[in-house]
Chains A and B, each alone.
Chain A
Amino acid sequence: MGHRQSLMTPERQLRAQRAQQMSLIYTVMVCLVSLIFVQFLLLTVALEGYLGGRVEMALPTALVSGLCCAAAYWLLWYIRVPSRR
């Protein structure tokens, strides 16, 4: 691997690095969309519980939704780190 990298020109190295970063961003996007999907499901459950008078369901769903939101924020932070280097 290291031998192959040494044969790469700086331009190709940069392009390969960009490609890696792009795949990382795509992966993060898929994870984010999945998290939002879960959050929408939780919101649906909470709304149905609220309308049906089962208000006790709203708190656990809000907690899990908060965890999903924190995970989404961490993913965003994670992909921002390479640009600072």
Chain B
Amino acid sequence: MSEGPAWKDHFPISWVDDHFVTRREFTKSLVWVSLATFLANVVLAMLGRFQRLWNAEALPQVRLATVHDLPVGGARVFHYPTSGDPCLLVRLDIDRYVAFGQKCTHLGCPVSYRAADRQLYCPCHQGFFDAVDGRVLAGPPSRSLPRVTLERRGEELWAIGKAS
């Protein structure tokens, strides 16, 4: 029997073992964090794949507006092909319309049209796109804006496709 309080004999605690186990438990939780990070990455990969498959399907044809709805230099937001895909219809000249996806190709912020410069502008990180063809003019985006294919049917404008 060791000298000291009786509880130390009744409830012996090895502090070295106790710390040993605690650190091991912490290590185990680190592995759980690693697994969670991996799963998050897998979810992103699967979402991307589903998105690609979704985009590969035939796109619907949607009536956007009549040619008189938009003034020259004006822009209007619409959604194509789904309600989760905002796009921007721009009237460049009297008889010239273009449409692009509104999500910036950098981090997905919505772009807006600047008629004076004929540019599409992303305010989040100062990205600039050419409103004529959607190519990047300045800023962090590395890819052009996806272009929506338009078709004029009499006095109406229709969206009939979208390039990635």
Query: A residues engaging B (CB < 8 A)?
Result: 15, 18, 21-22, 25-26, 28-29, 32-33, 35-36, 39-40, 42-43, 46-56, 58-59, 61-62, 65-66, 68-69, 72-73, 75-76, 79-80
Q: DSSP majority for the B interface?
A: helix
Query: B residues engaging A (CB < 8 A)?
Result: 16, 19-20, 23-24, 26-28, 30-31, 33-35, 37-38, 40-42, 44-45, 47-49, 51-52, 103-108, 141-143, 146, 164
| Complex contacts, A49 vs chain B, CB 8 Å | 48
Q: DSSP majority for the A interface?
A: helix
A82 to B164, CA, bound (A): 55
**A69 & B34 in contact (Cβ 8 Å cutoff):** yes
Nearest Cβ on chain A to B142's Cβ, whole angstroms:
8
14 A-B residue pairs with Cβ-Cβ distance under 8 Å, sorted by A, are: A25-B24, A25-B27, A29-B26, A43-B40, A46-B45, A48-B107, A53-B103, A53-B105, A53-B108, A58-B45, A65-B42, A69-B31, A76-B28, A79-B24
